Amino acid sequence: MSPSIALIARYYDAFNRGDWEAMLDCLTDDVVHDINQGHREKGRDTFRRFLERMNRCYREQLRDIVPMASADGSHAAAEYVVHGEYLADDDGLPPAHGQRYVLPGGAFFDIRDGRIARISNYYNLQDWIAQVSGG
């Protein structure tokens, strides 16, 4: 397994365990986070706040994770399926009342000095909204 693929696997293993500190340890201090259909955030502390919001609003497990990396290891990607539960209202989204959802997703990464320097997450937001809205 390449070092970049091992890094991505460690990152998602920490996610599935709910080990936010282990996830944060995979990131550079100046990590860039492109939120799906949203804005760009910068910095590990900002990402920590993102994780806190996610932990409050959602309970998720990623399954069928397929990490990939470029030959030089500077770029990586992962495809996965999110199995989740919507726990608490998130800004601008439908009301939460424990709805369950299953949603394919993916992410792209820049790797620098053995850590993740950029994360760009993608999933079909309209599909998620339809699932949690009962449509």
Segment 91-123, tens digit of pLDDT: 899 999 999 999 999 999 999 999 999 999 999
Note whether 101 and 82 are within 8 A (CB): yes
pLDDT band at 135 (very low <50, low <70, confident <90, very high): low
User: 57-87 as b/e, with b when 16 or more CB fall inside 10 Å?
Assistant: bbebebeebebbbeeeeeebbbebebebebb
Domains of the chain by start residue, with CATH? 3-133 (3.10.450.50)
